Structure 1
Amino acid sequence: MLKNKKALAMSVLCAIASVGFVVSASAAEQAMHGNLDEVVVEGSADVLPGGNVRTTAKLGVLGDKSVMDIPYSEMSMTAKAVETYGDPSQPLANVLMNNPSIRTSTTSPMYTDFSMRGINMNGNHMMLNGVPSLFYQFTTPPSHVIDRIDITSGPNAGVNGVSMSNNGTNGGATPAPGTINVVTKRATDTPVNRYTQTFSGRGNAGEFIDVGRRFGENNEWGIRVNAEYMEGGLALPGAEKNEKNIFINMDHRGDNNTTNLFAGYFDLRVNGGQRWFSLPGSYSSTVLPDAPDSKNNYDFNGTTKYVHGYLATLNHEHKLDDTWSYFANMGYSRRSGNKDNQGASIKFDEHGKFVGNQFNQQNEEGKNAYVQLGLKGKLETGAVKHDLALSVDRSWARYWNKSKSYKPNGQEILGNLYDGIIFPDNYVLQNFGDGTPQWEETNIGLTIADTISYGKASMLLAASRKHENFESFTGKSFKNDNILPTYGLTYKPVENMAFYYGHTESFSRGLVVSGSDYTNNGETMDPVKSKQNEFGVKYQNAGMMTTLSYFDIDEANRYDINSSDPAHPKTKVDDGKNRYKGVELTVNGKLADKWTATGGLLYLDAEREKTQNGAKDGWFVNGVSKWSGVLGLEYKPDDSWGIVGRAVWNDSAYIESGSSSGKTEIPSYVTFDMGVNYKTKINTVPVKLSAMCYNVADKDYWMGRGSSTTIGLSMPRTFMLSAQFDI
């Protein structure tokens, strides 16, 4: 009861602080200037009223298309949405979950994981300016460089070319649920001189510089520079995020060609923030222990995750005539870093006591390269129109790693969920050298796509032929060829309504189990085909866009189970498929003159099928809730200020365990965020002041992780303040 009263009191204080912030800003502005001068903001015709979502998005090799013409669920978030709901000290998934198909599975910046329609994803699955595989489980594009995020929750595997199949903890599964493409900021016709300060958590301070200029005849050349310096403590005591980076975007737009070059350097370190847990094989309870206080710290002195490196993308398109053009997309990234933590997750028993945990050290390095060349054009055969594209691409990656899991000083890592971790005293971190080569992968693909339009109907036909060569330097290697078909049909009875159907197929790559902690280290698992079907309806009217869809997805069911061998505590298993069937409702735009909404609802029925001897056919999929939803609202009484609120709901889920029922429940939870933003002027300088409070009620809760037996723990209430100056 006392805890609930405290939560209510803090919620009221958040609201009072938000209102006080607005009143103070208003009073200061009136004292300086009286009435505000009109501020002209550069807009775009393809952005829905309210400014959070665009009406166009990238359709793979076919380029940008109207969302109404894309035969699957598509949501393109704007930079405004990222600024309104995001905190640069938190994972990007904190913004992505405004899409109802996406649920975050971690609140710690030590990871980037989230799920899309129940399937786990992370930074590996993000594209940057149409280029895949430049990020990984610890990194995503930093929020301050983002102009838009195209989120495809639908069957589009055959239109995007080839990507790397390695994706961190997914063990090489190529996910079927969709893709996320981030487009970086370009210079606008209006010069940009922007300086932003943020303050978050217990002392995390960030500074951001954004400068943009166009020059030359008809402003044909542009340059945009974005830089960040951040350091300091998070809302979790003892955890901190330190980040510095600089990125430059140069572009040219001529009469017959466009070119964009994006390049930069990044350096990211997260000290502390361990938030992942798991259950031992002996776990016998059907429920989890109560979620501990989110302020509890489970790190030893020296827990860290660090990466630094650089990346670049190049996009070019040249018109050959009025109907045909060729294009090129290229990218490169190189990173290196290390981590020292209590393994990927901390095990606890039914009483919350830590059992069987080991210390982990890892040094790693990776580099990825990508090139795509293509030709696209438009043809007409009578009343039938064709939008064609043909491309070839090559994706290459190499990975170095040296890691070691062991008991520090030969002792167990003790403690419990409620009192914290007990790490052996007087332990000195070892220095065991740089990583050694682990694997190399080369993918070569050929993609062909055609959108055939006739009257009110259009059909998408696409296929990608992928040749994969995976060479493991520590175990077995393999090659495989597969074809990824995609097709879809769209019918628009009226211009603002579309009925659609889409289908795609994709493959997980063959997996070589790697790691001394596996009983089946070196075992090879064959590639598994996955299919996805979706049909739905889209409707756009009076400033709102709504999508209602039904989908059916399957994927390989690969996961770790606990073994009885202390020297090899895990076994990787490949047991049939997971099947995801669901209904998704997405709503974006203006509800009324002063109200903007974003979010939706997801129903997801996830079960296993084709398991060994049918033993687990019909079982739940680990960590997947049947129901979930999100609703973000912004109220703007006038052009100067706005009040923001967001509610996120996740129904209960289950993970496999040693209990009498074979499962343990993850309880449902609801969280609330709220904030305020205010536009004013200091002398002649436009200023935007913002305040946000995440997890307003300071709720402690467990989070499921799509198709995984690990669980996440919430972060405590987090305050964030920012001031943006357009100099």
Structure 2
Amino acid sequence: MPTVSNQNKVLDVHRSRIHSVRLSVAAALVFTAWGSVRAQEGVLPDVQVKAQAELPGDLPQPYPDPDGQVARGAHLGVLGKTDVRDAPFSIISFTASTIQNSQARSVSEIIGQLDPSVREEYGDGTSLDSMMIRGFPVENDEMSLNGLPGILGQFRVSPEFVERAEVLKGPALLLNGMSPDGSVGGSVNVVSKRAGDVPLTSLNIGFASNSLWGFNADIGRRFGVDNAFGIRVNAGMRQGDLARDFVTDRARNASVGLDFTSTRLRASLDLIHQTETVYGAAGSVDLSRLGKSAPPALDGHRNFAQPWNYQDAEDSTVMGRVEFDLTERLTLFGAIGHSRNRSTAVVSDEPYLDAAGNFMFAAMPVRWRQQTTSSQLGLKGRVDTGPVRHDWSITASGLRRESSAVFDVGGLSGAAGYSNMYNMIVLPNPILVTDPMGPLVWNARSSLPGYALADTMSLADGKVLLTLGMRHQRVKSDSVTGYSLIGVVPTHYDQSVNSPMVAVVFKPTDQVSVYANHMQGLTMGDTAPYGTTNQGQVFAPYRTRQAEAGVKLDLGRFGGAVSVFQITRPYASIDPTTLTYGVFGEQRHRGLELNVFGEVTKGVRLLGGATFINATARDSASVTAQNTRPVGVARRQIALQGEWDLPAVQGLTLTARGTHSSSVYADNTNLVRVPGWTVYDLGLRYAMKAGGTPVTLRAGLKNASDKRYWRQGRYAASLGMPRTVALSSTFEF
């Protein structure tokens, strides 16, 4: 098999030429339209482009005006819609305008580049999304849709149907119930779009290097008496090559949001369908066995995956919600949602990289099927007991999931080989064969029913808010794993716990609020792995505890927050002496968060902040892993975006963003250090009218300095994406 050292040189030249031609064509198409529009209009009038004049339902208003980047509040599960100043937690809600202006491919990408507490694990050049919030993992399918967890896309959530992306920091077991994997660092709730009172017809056309084209149509209408009925339809696609070698993306999305509003009844129905096929993605490597610091990162165009590696995913979701006011102070509510996820892929486990850059890979076909049903039913109300006002709720929730995977470990011939990060070996397409052992199969069924009671008491004329709550959570799981022709090993799990919450808010002035909380999270306990003395033993649910305090400031058009927190959770490992698997330690994250948002001065806006985390893993069973730093957790994360409405050119906004992560470790013993990185993004957008039609043009340059860096996750590292150009035009008819 010949190497591709010469091929790499030819590829670099060929890629550079094609890249230049594609960018030239794209820029010509978008900015020729820009120039022609300006020529038609001459002097532009004072223009503001808005998708809709009013927000539907009980959606919190943007801050500080209708074009704000964040919202004044968020939906906090059993606590309902809550103003940021009244929330005893660290929360932020990104608006539809922020989502669209980001020109991102997924919800995770948007959050990861704007919230300093959040980092994408592997980045844009991979086939799946996964985040870390406050240093703990949050899987993509743990996001909630309108308050229901677990019913969105398995690998990626497209942003086209999203009105808000709400991020709550810390465990939220009481608020939303247990998510499928029990994320404890934070949670994300996606709010779907609804039709506003002003008719909306919007078309967005976009391009990203190397040749990724896409469009999306967004249509909203209300009708009936008092505009009681609404429909919002989104449909779009993207297709082409990314800025990384071999990576091709083909995605389709469609959604329909229906709603009905009357004096006492509010109902909604969402239908969401998305597909995505990615070739050449998931090119990550495992650095944990290097025994020394990671090697310098290569050009971000490089890909460690084979061109024939692929993933084909399809996600379908249906969700309904109903609220009925029994009286002015008593509301009955319920919601139910169902999702089906399936994928087929040819992927490799992350190969170990040695000191010379060599690695061995072996790909296999994988088939994945999953279906999830999530539901809520409850009562919420308000009652006064003397000078104290009570906002209370009683909620029953449940999540049922059935998952299955088939790994054809020996199902390909010619899918394994050796390669080198500096001199990639490209193999021809492998051939399907029959493995005499049969495939490795995994089937699982889980059920997460729970009941919650919460009461927020308003004291001292609303200056003090005290919230008390309790959730009873049951965790039930059954699974089988093994080779179909040899035999399978079953496991059974059925545990339950009670989880309390205490939180308080004190508002000494209208601009300042001080808060503190003690919350808990719950993660399904591990099963002792194969090869241990207690293999198959199922552990009780892991209880995570958080203590947090903070101060929030609201100056009318500019705000910020400072918070300190500590999160602790059990740490499981294998005792190297006895080979027994157990909970022998604790993982503790102590942190400080700084956040700013809003308009600093007229036409100048800031969004972002900094997070500092002192994370330690204490494993008493290992001499070399006591008081070490968890893999992939940075001590310092910064994300800050600025916008400037240029006074000299009406409608023109310049943007700049810096994202920084300090160094992390790739192994549990902290021998393999992965250097930190800082990436700068630049952009502009221009709002105008063309023949009476509002138009917004956007141009972005991501990783403007073409920084070379490693992005280290929990299990592996991938190269950061290279300099990427993104262009888009939005027309409001």
Which residue number corresponds to residue 177 of structure 2? 161
Supply the AA of the counterpart residue of 2:621.
Answer: Q
Question: Which residue, out of 652, 656, 661, partners 1:645?
Answer: 656
Report the CA distance between 1:416 and its aligned residue: 1.0
Judged with a 3 Å threshold, the aligned counterparts in structure 2 of structure 1 residues 410 and 129 are, in CA distance, closer, same or farther, namely: same
Change (3 A) 1:430 1:101: farther
Q: Tell me the residue number matched to 1:467.
A: 474
2:288·2:672 contact (CA, 8 Å) conserved in 1?
no
* Cα offsets for 1:602-632 (capped at 9, x unmatched): 1100001253267633211111111110110
Cα distance change of structure 1 residues 119 and 148 upon mapping to structure 2, 3 Å threshold: same
Q: Which residue pairs with 1:123 in the alignment?
A: 140
Aligned CA-pair RMSD = 3.0
Structure 1 window deviating more from structure 2 (212-221 vs 504-513): it is 504-513
Q: 1:58 matched to which residue of 2?
A: 75
Distance 1:201 1:615 in 2: 45
- 624, 628, 631: which one pairs with 1:619? 628
Indicate the SS of the match to 1:248. Answer: strand
Gaps of 5+ in 2: 1-22, 482-489
Superposed counterparts of 1:242-321, under 5 Å: 242-279=250-287, 281=289, 283-284=290-291, 286-321=292-327
TM-score, with structure 2 as normaliser: 0.88
The residue number in structure 2 matching 1:209 is 217
Residues 713/157 of structure 1: CA separation in 2 closer, same or farther (3 Å cut): same
Summarize the alignment of residues 530-679 of structure 1 with structure 2, pairs less than 5 Å apart.
Answer: 530-558=544-572, 575-609=584-618, 611-612=620-621, 616-638=625-647, 640-656=651-667, 662-679=670-687
> How many angstroms apart in 2 are the aligned matches of 1:644 and 1:69?
31
Q: Distance in 1 between the 2:29 and 2:658 partners?
A: 22
Pairs within 5 Å for 1:476-487: 476-487=491-502
- Once residues 342 and 287 of structure 2 are traced to their aligned partners in structure 1, the CA distance between those partners, rounded to angstroms, is 31
**Aligned counterparts of 1:78 and 1:157: Cα–Cα separation in 2:** 25
- For residues 554-605 of structure 1, what are the alpha-carbon distances to aligned partners after superposition, in whole Å with 9 as ceiling and x for unaligned? 1233579999xxxxxx998755221000100011101110111100011100
Shift of the 109–312 alpha-carbon distance from structure 1 to 2, 3 Å rule, reads farther
Query: Aligned match of 1:453 in 452, 458, 462?
Result: 458
Aligned length: 687
1:725–1:717 CA distance, 2 compared to 1 (3 A)? same
The answer to whether the 8 Å contact 2:54/2:197 transfers is no
Deviates more, 1:47-56 or 1:203-212: 47-56
Structure 1 residues 591, 601: closer, same or farther in 2, change over 3 A?
A: same
Instruction: Report the Cα offset of residue 487 of structure 1.
Output: 1.4
> Amino acid of the residue matched to residue 461 of structure 1?
L
Q: Aligned runs of 1:422-437 on 2, under 5 Å?
A: 422-423=426-427, 425=428, 427-430=430-433
- Aligned partner of 1:31 in structure 2 is 39
1:329 matches 2:356: no
Q: Which of residues 88, 92, 95 in structure 2 aligns to 1:78?
A: 95
Q: Deviations over 1:474-503 (max 9, x none)?
A: 321110001121210100001121000011
Shift in Å, 1:525: 3.9
Note the alpha carbon deviations across 1:35-90, whole angstroms, 9 max, x for none: 334545326682113610001111211211101011010101101111122322x6
* Cα deviation digits, residues 395-448 of structure 1 (max 9, x gap): 10001110133595478521111122444x562145889996601011111011
CA distance in 1, matches of 2:375, 2:710: 41
For the 8 Å contact 2:234–2:256, the answer to whether it is kept is yes
The structure 2 residue matched to 1:188, chosen from 185, 196, 201, is 196
CA distance in 1, matches of 2:622, 2:706: 45
Gaps of 5+ in 1: 1-14, 166-173, 564-569
Instruction: Give the Cα separation in 2 of the matches to 1:306 and 1:431.
Output: 22
Matched residue type, 2:328: D
**Is 2:400 the partner of 1:405?**
no
Q: Which moved more, 1:68-77 or 1:266-275?
A: 266-275
Compared CA separation, residues 430 and 673, structure 1 to 2 (3 A): farther
522-531 or 632-641, larger mean C-alpha shift? 522-531
TM-score, normalised to structure 1, is: 0.89
Q: Distance in 2 between matches of 1:37 and 1:219?
A: 31
Q: Do the aligned partners of 1:293 and 1:418 also contact (CA within 8 Å) in 2?
A: no
Q: Which residue of 1 aligns with 2:725?
A: 719
Contact 2:358 2:420 in 1 (8 A): yes
Counterpart residue number, 2:118: 102
- The residue number in structure 2 matching 1:380 is 384
Contact map agreement 1:307 1:337 (CA 8 A) in 2: yes
Q: Distance in 2 between matches of 1:562 and 1:712?
A: 30
Residue 709 of structure 1 deviates from its aligned partner by 4.1
Match of 1:135 in 2: 152
How many angstroms apart in 1 are the aligned matches of 2:24 and 2:580?
52
Tell me the residue number matched to 1:5.
none
Distance 1:158 1:490 in 2: 18
SS of 2:232's equivalent in the other structure is: strand
CA contact (8 A) 2:371 2:402 kept: yes
Matching residue's letter, 2:690: I
Which moved further from structure 2: 433-442 or 647-656?
433-442
Distance of 1:611 and 1:209 partners within structure 2: 56
Q: Distance in 2 between matches of 1:641 and 1:43?
A: 24
Identify the residue that residue 149 of structure 1 maps to in structure 2: 165
Q: 1:396 aligned to 2:400?
A: yes
Q: 1:696 to 1:402 in 2, by over 3 A?
A: same
**Structure 1 residues 196 and 109: CA distance shift in structure 2, 3 A:** farther
* Conserved? CA contact 1:308–1:336, under 8 Å: yes
Contact kept in structure 1, 2:511 and 2:554, CA below 8 Å: yes
Please give the per-residue CA displacement for 1:636-691, whole angstroms capped at 9, x wherever unaligned: 1255121111000111111226xxx7511110110011111111223222211111
- Aligned partners of 1:135 and 1:559: how far apart in 2? 31
Match of 2:354 in 1: 349
- Give the 3 Å change call, closer, same or farther, for CA 551–19 of structure 1 in structure 2: farther
1:444–1:528 CA distance, 2 compared to 1 (3 A): same
Alignment counterpart, residue 528 of structure 1, candidates 542, 545, 554: 542
In structure 2, what residue type is equivalent to 1:298?
A: F
Q: What per-residue deviation string (whole Å, max 9, x for no partner) do you get for residues 14-48 of structure 1?
A: x9999999997775333201233454532668211
Q: Judge conservation of contact 1:510–1:525 (CA < 8 Å) in 2.
A: yes
Residues 1:533 and 1:20: Cα distance change in structure 2 (over 3 Å):
farther
Counterpart position of 1:8: none
In the superposition, relative to structure 1, how do residues 280 and 581 fare at CA in structure 2: closer, same or farther (>3 Å)?
A: closer
Q: Is the 8 A contact 1:72 1:155 kept in 2?
A: no
Residue 707 of structure 2, aligned match among 675, 699, 707: 699
* Mapped contact 1:126–1:132 kept (Cα < 8 A): yes
1:261–1:313: 8 Å Cα contact kept in structure 2?
yes
Instruction: Kindly state the Cα deviation for residue 634 of structure 1 after the two structures are TM-superposed.
Output: 0.9
Comparing 95-104 with 607-616, greater Cα deviation is found at 607-616
Aligned equivalent of 2:13: none
Q: 1:431 to 1:182 in 2, by over 3 A?
A: farther
CA contact 1:187–1:213 (8 Å) conserved in 2: yes
Q: Match of 1:618, SS?
A: strand
1:91 shift after superposition: 6.4
Return the letter of the residue paired with 2:472: R
- Secondary structure (helix, strand or coil) at the match of 2:194 reads coil
**Percent identity (aligned):** 25
2:129 matched residue in structure 1 = 112
CA distance in 1: counterparts of 2:698 and 2:140, whole angstroms: 28
SS of the residue corresponding to residue 506 of structure 1 reads: strand
CA contact (8 A) 1:71 1:502 kept: yes
